[in-house]
Structure 1
Amino acid sequence: MADDELGISEDDVDELSELFHLASNFVRSSTNSFNQEQLLYLYARFKQANDGPCFVSKPGMFDFQGKKKWEAWKSLENKTREEAMKEYTSKVTLTVPDWNLQFDRRQAGDGWVGVSTMSNTDTVIEDRNKTAFDWCKDGDTKHLLHYLKTTKTNVNKQDENGMTLLHWTCDRGNIEMLDALLGLKADPNIQDNDGQSPLHYAVSCEHQDIVERLLKTSINLKLQDVDGLTITDIETTPEIKHLLEQYVT
């Protein structure tokens, strides 16, 4: 929809963009003025205004912060850039009414603050101290395979939560690593401490390519987690639901 159809002139858009730019830089320099709920609200509208609708893959099950940010941004997919900017600046003004007086325009800089991908909340570990699970979480297939070969680590080894390398790979949505692990005879039917299989993770995280690949293995589609949920009971995309229906009898 064109700006004039929204009743917004080109000059108004320029003015709104400048105000949004200043407000976003104020938020960056004054995060302690906002609570987490407000920051999440602002994050989603900043992303929608700056990057448009969310087409980033949904973060894994254990990236709780990333999932909240993704869901907040994803919920705005039908909102225009101008609407997102208006809501952003309105929220800043409502929360800190005199923000534009507090904020020295010289702090604004020359560019917008942007984040192209969701933040990685994993702890940084030196390469020499990494385990197979660390390389797996990093998405580094080459180093993972080298580690498994040189240390003779069992590809089906489970961590403290009962998760195998396949669980983590399906959580992350790494198809290259999935193929490599399946080539090493990784078992797709091992369940974690909550009774969830790698396919439970892939379905929950909405990684359709991972789901499709797992369905071609000797996977048990009737496995239940501790709550009695099978893969068909998990909330996911309509496309994955349809895909599962073709395999479950």
Structure 2
Amino acid sequence: MQCFLQPGVKLGTCNTPKPSFFDFEGKQKWEAWKALGDTSPHQAMQEYIAAVKKLDPSWNPQTTEKRGKENKTGFGGPVISSLYQEEEIIREEDKNIFDYCRENNIDYVTKAIQSKKVDVNVTDEEGRALLHWACDRGHKELVSVLLQNGADVNIQDGEGQTALHYAATCEFFDIVELLLQSGADPRLRDQEGCLPEEVTDSKAITSALQQHSSSQP
């Protein structure tokens, strides 16, 4: 899931999706920009720079803007800071099942699982399952395929986070609904004691999770 932060001087109000679950620095910068609301472009730019420098004192807006001019975004202008860094490009022969999952290569993942070459609940070195990655990237169709092929909807990663934690923090409401319909338990806490409803800024998602929790026996 790519998310690029446009400078306030260009677009003003934050209008890009929330960054990937794993992009911790990016999420902080995105939240700082979003918090500026509808301030004027100039004021937003100044306040954004101040906020980001608090998070990263070494950050240089001139350096990132120069780099942005070399890499245009789909919006047609240079970026100030890329919120999401693509994984290093991997040669086809070096890819593993998680790479194909991140790429949303549904055909490859489905065939690998159904041929028993890959366990649908296989985890990476951080304990993240394919379902975690699909939820993080917003690949709803792939999430559905994984669930249909026996993915554990409540599997927890190395930090105790479920797929619901990932979908909630990335604010994919439709995936949250799909997980709940598939038996995901919103009452499971991660190792820090956080419920899925506590890791999102989306009121709609929080409400859906709370309602589902209250309906559980």
- The answer to whether the superposition gives a TM-score over 0.5 is yes
> How far, CA to CA, are the matches of 1:59 and 1:191 in structure 2?
21
Taking a change above 3 Å as real, the CA distance of residues 127 and 52 of structure 1, as seen in their structure-2 partners, is farther
Please name the residue that 2:177 is paired with. 212
Please name the residue that 1:54 is paired with. 14
TM-score, normalization by structure 1 = 0.64
Q: How many residues align?
A: 188
Q: Which moved more, 1:68-77 or 1:200-209?
A: 68-77
Instruction: Indicate the SS of the match to 2:205.
Output: helix
Query: What amino acid is the match of 1:161?
Result: E
TM-score, normalization by structure 2 = 0.72
- The answer to whether structure 1 residue 224 and structure 2 residue 189 are counterparts is yes
> How far, CA to CA, are the matches of 1:177 and 1:78 in structure 2?
36
Structure in which a larger fraction of residues adopt helix: 1
Instruction: Indicate the SS of the match to 2:197.
Output: helix
2:132 pairs with one of 164, 167, 188: 167
> How far, CA to CA, are the matches of 1:89 and 1:171 in structure 2?
28
1:235-246 map, 5 Å: 235-246=200-211
Please name the residue that 1:123 is paired with. 88
Taking a change above 3 Å as real, the CA distance of residues 70 and 146 of structure 1, as seen in their structure-2 partners, is farther
Query: What amino acid is the match of 1:125?
Result: I
Shift of 1:149: 4.4
Query: What amino acid is the match of 2:30?
Result: W
1:152-207 CA-to-partner distances (Å, cap 9, x unmatched) read 20111111111100111112222121112112121111111211111111122222
Please name the residue that 1:12 is paired with. none
1:187-236 CA-to-partner distances (Å, cap 9, x unmatched) read 11111121111111112222212111111012223222222333234343
Please name the residue that 1:68 is paired with. 28
Query: What amino acid is the match of 1:163?
Result: R
Q: Which moved more, 1:111-120 or 1:165-174?
A: 111-120
Q: CA RMSD in A?
A: 3.2
Query: What amino acid is the match of 2:167?
Result: A
Q: Could you tell me whether the CA contact under 8 Å between 1:221 and 1:231 is conserved in 2?
A: yes
1:143-222 map, 5 Å: 143-149=108-114, 152-222=117-187
**What runs of 5+ residues in structure 2 fail to find an aligned partner?**
51-59, 61-75
Q: Could you tell me whether the CA contact under 8 Å between 2:5 and 2:30 is conserved in 1?
A: no
Instruction: Indicate the SS of the match to 2:171.
Output: coil
Instruction: Indicate the SS of the match to 1:49.
Output: helix
Q: Could you tell me whether the CA contact under 8 Å between 1:191 and 1:197 is conserved in 2?
A: yes
Shift of 1:88: 8.3
> How far, CA to CA, are the matches of 2:183 and 2:49 in structure 1?
53
**What runs of 5+ residues in structure 1 fail to find an aligned partner?**
1-43, 96-110
Q: Which moved more, 1:207-216 or 1:220-229?
A: 220-229
> How far, CA to CA, are the matches of 2:201 and 2:163 in structure 1?
15
